């Protein structure tokens, strides 16, 4: 699967044993419309096309024994080398990788777009990861059956930050993780749902109070659910001390 690569300002090249999985969900809604209008391009390449033996094999048994199969270094290296990737970031999706963050997503979105290797089976021969300088990226502490859904996750997170994709309605600057906080709770009509009302402050029309409420909620949620993020927050400017988290008023 390949979209028009010639003019798009950002592109993702995915190396996979299952190119037919693409664009999949990336062809729908926000990312799909942006793909169709040329704001980004996607190229899914079949790793198996670089196999050289008559069985077109891409994997072999693990050195040292053990279950499963390992993606061969020579086949994957040939697949990588067949891409004219220039200085583009070269990633490999891996549960052993550094966890993907919104900050890394923003960096990748600001560049020309990555080449992404999707693993399968028990994993990939380490020598090709080392020899081609692949950056290992994890999307979380769980094991998927292949790198494709992880690659889609990374691409989707990048694409929505590309200029023109979200339009004027949203900028991506007021969202979870953009300022080290989870996002505050959102509400919309009806004003009463199963006896639960929208918090008064949000229908007060007082923008300063709304902003203060949102910040307080975001801080309380972050401290309760993500102590790791809360611990990394800057200290209060007046005192130089860590701020005490406010109490959650919604949802918990
Ligand atoms: N044996 C490997 C291990 O224990 O680390 C897991 C291999 S997994 C079954 C097959 C492929 O799925 C991996 O090579 C990787 O490309 C992808 N994958 C699985 N979990 C992932 C995660 N959390 N983040 C990114 N990629 C993942």
The answer for residues whose C-beta is within 8 angstroms of residue 13's C-beta and 6 or more apart is 43, 45, 83, 85, 88, 113, 114, 115, 116
Residue 62 per-residue DSSP state: P
Residue nearest to atom 24 of ligand 1 (CA): 138
The answer to whether 42 and 114 are in contact (CB under 8 A) is no
Per-residue pLDDT tens for 233-248?
Answer: 877 666 666 667 777 6
Instruction: Locate the domains of the chain by residue range.
Output: 11-159, 175-231
Residuewise pLDDT in 10s, the chain (252 residues): 777 777 899 999 999 999 999 999 999 999 999 999 999 999 999 999 999 999 999 999 999 999 999 999 999 999 999 999 999 999 999 999 999 999 999 999 999 999 999 999 999 999 999 999 999 999 999 999 999 999 999 999 999 999 999 986 455 667 889 889 999 999 999 999 999 999 999 999 999 999 999 999 999 999 999 999 999 987 766 666 666 777 766 655
Query: Which uninterrupted H or E stretch holds 116?
Result: strand 115-118
Peptide bond into 173 cis (omega under 30): no
CATH of domain 11-159: 3.40.1280.10
Residue nearest to atom 13 of ligand 1 (CA): 119
Does the CB atom of residue 91 touch ligand 1 within 6 A?
no
CATH of domain 175-231: 1.10.1270.20
The answer for residues whose C-beta is within 8 angstroms of residue 200's C-beta and 6 or more apart is none
The CA–CA distances, whole Å, from 172 to 1, 84, 188, 242, 252 equal 29, 31, 20, 27, 26
Alpha-carbon span 21 to 30, nearest angstrom: 18
CA of 144 to the centre of ligand 1 (A): 5
Alpha-carbon span 216 to 228, nearest angstrom: 18
Does the CB atom of residue 114 touch ligand 1 within 6 A?
no
CA of 55 to the centre of ligand 1 (A): 25
Alpha-carbon span 145 to 92, nearest angstrom: 14
Per-residue pLDDT tens for 159-195?
Answer: 999 999 998 645 566 788 988 999 999 999 999 999 9
The CA–CA distances, whole Å, from 184 to 64, 211, 244 equal 50, 10, 17
């Amino acid at each position: 699967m390949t979209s028009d690569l010639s003019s798009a300002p950002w592109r993702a090249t995915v190396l996979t044993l299952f190119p037919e999985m693409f664009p999949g969900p990336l062809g729908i809604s926000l990312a799909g419309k942006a793909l169709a209008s040329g704001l980004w391009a996607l190229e899914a390449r079949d790793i198996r096309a670089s196999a050289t033996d008559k069985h077109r094999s891409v994997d072999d048994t693990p050195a040292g024994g053990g279950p499963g199969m390992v993606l061969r270094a020579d086949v994957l290296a040939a697949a990588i080398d067949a891409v004219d990737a220039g200085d583009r970031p070269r990633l490999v999706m891996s549960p052993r990788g550094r966890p993907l963050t919104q900050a890394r997503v923003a960096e990748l979105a600001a560049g020309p777009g990555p080449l992404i290797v999707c693993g399968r089976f028990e994993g990939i021969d380490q020598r090709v990861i080392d020899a081609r300088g692949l950056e290992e990226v994890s999307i979380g502490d769980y094991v998927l059956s292949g790198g494709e859904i992880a690659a889609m996750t990374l691409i989707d997170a990048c694409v929505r930050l590309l200029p023109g994709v979200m339009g004027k309605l949203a900028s991506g600057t007021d969202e979870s993780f953009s300022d080290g906080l989870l996002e505050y709770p959102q509400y919309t009509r009806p004003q009463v749902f199963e006896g639960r009302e929208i918090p008064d402050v949000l229908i007060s029309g007082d923008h300063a109070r709304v902003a203060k409420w949102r910040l307080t909620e975001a801080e309380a949620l972050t401290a309760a659910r993500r102590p790791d993020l809360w611990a990394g927050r800057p200290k209060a400017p007046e005192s130089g001390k860590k701020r005490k988290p406010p109490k959650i008023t919604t949802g918990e």
